Amino acid sequence: MATISKLSNPTPVTCSIKPSPCKINNPKCFVHVNNPLNLNLSFSACLSLRNRPAVEPSFLVRCLHADGKGAPSKTRTSLHDLYEFQGQSPWYDNLCRPVTDLLPLIDSGVRGVTSNPAIFQKAISSSNAYNEQFRELVQAGKDIESAYWELVVRDIQDACKLFEQIYDQTDGGDGYVSVEVSPRLADDTEGTVEAAKLLHRLVDRPNVYIKIPATAPCIPSIKKVISLGISVNVTLIFSLARYEAVIDAYLDGLEASGFGDLSRVTSVASFFVSRVDTIVDKMLEKIGTPEALDLRGKAAVAQAALAYKLYQKKFSGPRWEALVKKGAKKQRLLWASTSVKNPAYPDTLYVAPLIGPETVSTMPDQALQAFIDHGAVSRTIDTNTSEAEGIYSALEKLGIDWGYVGFQLELEGVESFKKSFDSLLDSLQEKANSLKLVSL
C-alpha cells in the first residue's frame, strides 16, 4: 500500500438552513452561512430539497468552495448534524484495505473508527490486499501471530493519519481509531496491561484508542493503562453495574497518574446495545405473557438511557471537578452493537433513540447508511428517562435478571472475539503453508 500522506483540507464554510412556514408545493428556505474566518466571500450554493415521508422534512445542502471557482465541496448529511447540533460523534464500525475507502465516509461526517478481532478476521481472510505484506513478513521470519499484528498495526496507523485532522481540530476530542488487545487476554490482568503498552508503542499515533474488554480481571488493567497516559476504549460493557466499575477505573487511573496535565488522556466506554435485546427478547418470549411480549425490543434502549443518566451523575461533583482543574476530559459513552438483529425492528432502532451530547455512536455499514438515508436528528437519549426506568423495573418484576444478562453477553462476546481471532490465525497459517513459506 502506498504511504498515506497528510491530508490538507481548507477550512470549510458551512451552511445551515431553516424551512420557512410554507406549503410543501412551494418550499422555501433561508440559508445561514457560517464563515469562521470572516472572509470576504462571493460564492454560490446549490440547494436540493427532498421530502422524506415518515420523518421530519429534511434538506440537503451542497455548498461550493469559498474560492468561488465552482468546485463542489463535501455533501452535508445527517451525520454532520448529529455532531454539530446534538454533540454526538458518529463513528464507523469497520476497517479494511484500502484504508483510503474511509475518505468518502469522512466527507459524509464520520469522525472516528472502531475495529475488533471479528472485523479484522473478515477483512484479512476475504481480501488479497494483505498478501504482499504478509508474504514479506513471513519471509522475514515472523511467526503467524506477529505477522497478524503487523498487518493490523499498519491499518490502524493509516486510518489514524486520515483522522488526524479531526483530532487536531478538536484538540484531541475526536478523530480516534480503536484497536483491541488480543481477546485471549480477557482474563489476564497483567497480560492486558503489557499488551496495551506494546500496541500503543507500535502504533505510535496520538489518536489511537487501545481497546480493553470490561471483564472483571481487566478492570484493574484499565486503571493501570489510563494511569500510564494511554487512551483507552473500554469494550464489551453490557450492564449498568459493570459500566459504573469502568467509570471508576477511569477516574482512579487519572488520579493515580500523577500528571499535572490530564488533557491528553481520554477514553470512551463502549456500551453494547442490540445484543441486549437479542437475549432479553428470547427470555420474554419464553415467559409468553402479553405484558412480557409487549416489552420485546425495549430492554436495550431503556438500559442505555439509564447508562447515560449514570454518566451524568458520575462525571459531576467534587471528585470530578478536581480532575477537571487538571484538564481531565469525560469518558464519553459510546453506543456499540448498533446494527439491528431482528428484521422486524426499525433499522435505526439503536441509533435514533440514543442521540445526546458527549456521546459516540459507532455504526456498521447497514446502520450508518440507514441513518444517513432517513434518520431523524434530535436529542432523544434523556427525553423520557422515567419511561426507561419503568421498563427496566418491569423487566425485573417479570424475572429478568440484569446481572445474568450482562454476564452471559460478556461471556458470549469474549468467546466470539476469541473464535474470530483463532480462526484468522488458522487462515493465515494455511495461507503461509500454501505459499510454502512457513510451517507450524
Neighbours of 439 (CB within 10 A): 7
* CA–CA separation, 228 and 257 (whole Å): 6
**For residue 362, what is its C-alpha cell?**
459507532
Neighbours of 367 (CB within 10 A): 24
CB contact at 8 A, 102 and 123: no
Let me know how many helices (H) and strands (E) the chain has, helices first.
15, 12
**For residue 353, what is its C-alpha cell?**
433513540
Looking up cell 475488533, which residue turns up? Answer: 116
What are the distances in angstroms from CA 37 to CA 128, 374, 394?
45, 33, 53
Which phi and psi angles does 223 have, rounded to 5°? Answer: -55, -45
CB contact at 8 A, 73 and 108: no
**For residue 54, what is its C-alpha cell?**
415518515
CB contact at 8 A, 210 and 226: no
Active site residues: 211
Sign of the Cα torsion 269, 210, 360, 166 reads positive
CB contact at 8 A, 388 and 301: yes
CB contact at 8 A, 310 and 243: yes
**For residue 224, what is its C-alpha cell?**
493501570
Peptide bond before 357: cis, by omega within 30 degrees of 0?
no
CB contact at 8 A, 299 and 391: yes
* CA–CA separation, 182 and 188 (whole Å): 10
What are the distances in angstroms from CA 266 to CA 234, 258, 397?
11, 15, 38
Rg of the chain in Å (alpha carbons): 23
**For residue 268, what is its C-alpha cell?**
470512551
Nearest C-alpha neighbor of 120 from the set 420, 394, 427: 420
* CA–CA separation, 358 and 368 (whole Å): 19
